[in-house]
Amino acid sequence: MRLFVAVLPPAAARDELEAAAAPLRPARPDLRWTSHDVWHITLAFLGEVEDVATGRLMPRLERAARRHASLRLSFAGGAAFPGAARARVLWTGLRGDHRALAGLAASVAAAARRAGAPPPDEGRRFQPHLTLARCRAPADVRPLVAALTGFVGTPWTVSLIHLIRSHPGPRPTYEALASWPLGLPETAADDMESLSSDAPASECRRSADGRGQR
């Protein structure tokens, strides 16, 4: 299964971002724009993971989530990978608890590695983003980045992480396999930051119907 771990922004945050992105689309049909109902913030892309490793992954992700406090984020601005003049990906950035989000992403990557599903790009700097569009060939997206500069969304609280299965295709579809709550009050999360050992195991909580909100 092709898997990744992500944060899902709430509908209100997606609606605000959609209002900022929608006017940009008509002028750029050359880009493959992502749909607001599948928007996500990837914490770790795991690639193909065997069923046995997926079984080991679930309780480890539950423990990783429990060691972090819920955090506040908002969408802000625009940027591109690898750069706006010859972009492959147009994205919006995130403001707020950046450091906490990076810590959460690192814990998720470590959990995956220990489960035998190491993220192929682990070690690369975590750049929190939400992909708005992918380019079929390197494209100049400087006007789009400029148009997004002033955009700042309303902050929302991240209180869950999701393990998501990706069904690749021209329009990839995503299926949330399980979700876990972030578990600590903020001060406890600060105290735990330097700890590397796993907390005691507990049961993994699956989403009620096994499917995501997207």
Contact characters 87-116, ligand 2AM, x per CB under 6 A: --x---------------------------
The reply to whether 54 sits near ligand 2AM by the rule CB under 6 A is no
The reply to whether 37 sits near ligand 2AM by the rule CB under 6 A is no
Distances (CA, A) of 125 to 5, 44, 57, 209: 16, 11, 22, 34
Measured over the CA atoms of residue 157, residue 197, residue 63 and residue 202, the dihedral's sign is negative
- 9 or 183: whose CB is closer to ligand 2AM? 9
d(Cα 212, Cα 214) in Å, to the nearest integer? 5
The reply to whether 166 sits near ligand 2AM by the rule CB under 6 A is yes
**Alpha helices (H) in 79-160, listed in sequence order:** 98-114, 142-148
Binding residue (CB under 6 A) for ligand 2AM from 1, 28, 45, 160 = 45
CB 189 within 8 A of CB 104: no
Binding residue (CB under 6 A) for ligand 2AM from 14, 42, 69, 177 = 42
- 61 or 69: whose CB is closer to ligand 2AM? 61
How is residue 23 annotated by DSSP?
A: G
Sheet with strand 41-48: strands edge to edge = 41-48, 2-7, 160-167, 173-181
Binding residue (CB under 6 A) for ligand 2AM from 37, 48, 121, 190 = 121
CB 76 within 8 A of CB 93: yes
Task: Tell the smallest beta-carbon distance from residue 99 to ligand 2AM (Å).
Answer: 20
Task: Tell the smallest beta-carbon distance from residue 168 to ligand 2AM (Å).
Answer: 8
Q: Which residues contact 200 (CB under 8 A, 6 or more apart)?
A: none
Distances (CA, A) of 40 to 44, 54, 77, 137, 178: 11, 20, 16, 23, 15
- 4 or 180: whose CB is closer to ligand 2AM? 4
Binding residue (CB under 6 A) for ligand 2AM from 92, 131, 132, 212 = 131
Task: Tell the smallest beta-carbon distance from residue 197 to ligand 2AM (Å).
Answer: 28
Binding positions for ligand 2AM, rule: CB under 6 A: 4, 42, 45, 89, 121, 131, 166
